Amino acid sequence: MLADGTRKEKVTISDTINAIALLDPLLDWGRLYRLLQRLVGFGPTMKVWSRLLCLVRPDLYCTISSISVRKNLSAVIGIAPSSFQSPAGYLQLLKVIHAAPWFQSVRPKAKEEVEIWQNKAAFIDAIFYN
């Protein structure tokens, strides 16, 4: 899409990803939902967009591109694997993650721990992949 899309599409995608990346860590779920809907309006599902979000804000967003990740997350939190591919399902997953005590932990002091803490949501992929 970025290679073959129109200038307007490229600008809209870029602006939307940037707006999502700039959201405060205490996410405005309604705003995030509207921005995700804008992205999905271009055609790909959240499994594609979640990859980009995970790259720009690994502290807030995880990728759900892998079938096994979606399947394993589904078994743990009781959401159908296919629902993660919609903005509503992806938000439901993020709300579970963001409510978890490990996610809400305070920033550690040790340098090695800070590096992990700053990428904590991105680790969902590694934890649930098999």
Residue range of the domain that includes 11: 7-128
State the pLDDT at residue 79.
92
Evaluate whether residue 1 is within a structural domain.
no
Q: Does 5 have pLDDT greater than 90? A: no
Q: What is the pLDDT of residues 50-109, one digit of tens each?
A: 999 999 999 999 999 999 999 999 999 999 999 999 999 999 999 999 999 999 999 999
Evaluate whether residue 2 is within a structural domain.
no
Residue for token pair 């959201």: 23
Evaluate whether residue 123 is within a structural domain.
yes
pTM flag (> 0.75): yes
> Domain total for the chain?
1
State how far the alpha carbon of 87 is from the alpha carbons of 30, 46, 65, 68, 117, in Å: 11, 6, 14, 19, 25
Evaluate whether residue 39 is within a structural domain.
yes
Evaluate whether residue 40 is within a structural domain.
yes
- The SS3 call for residue 110 is coil
* Whole-angstrom distance, CA of residue 50 vs CA of residue 97: 14
> What is the C-alpha radius of gyration for the chain, rounded to an integer number of angstroms?
15
One-character DSSP codes across 3-61: TTS-HHHHHHHHHHHHHHHTS-SS--HHHHHHHHHHHHTTS--HHHHHHHHHHH-TTT-
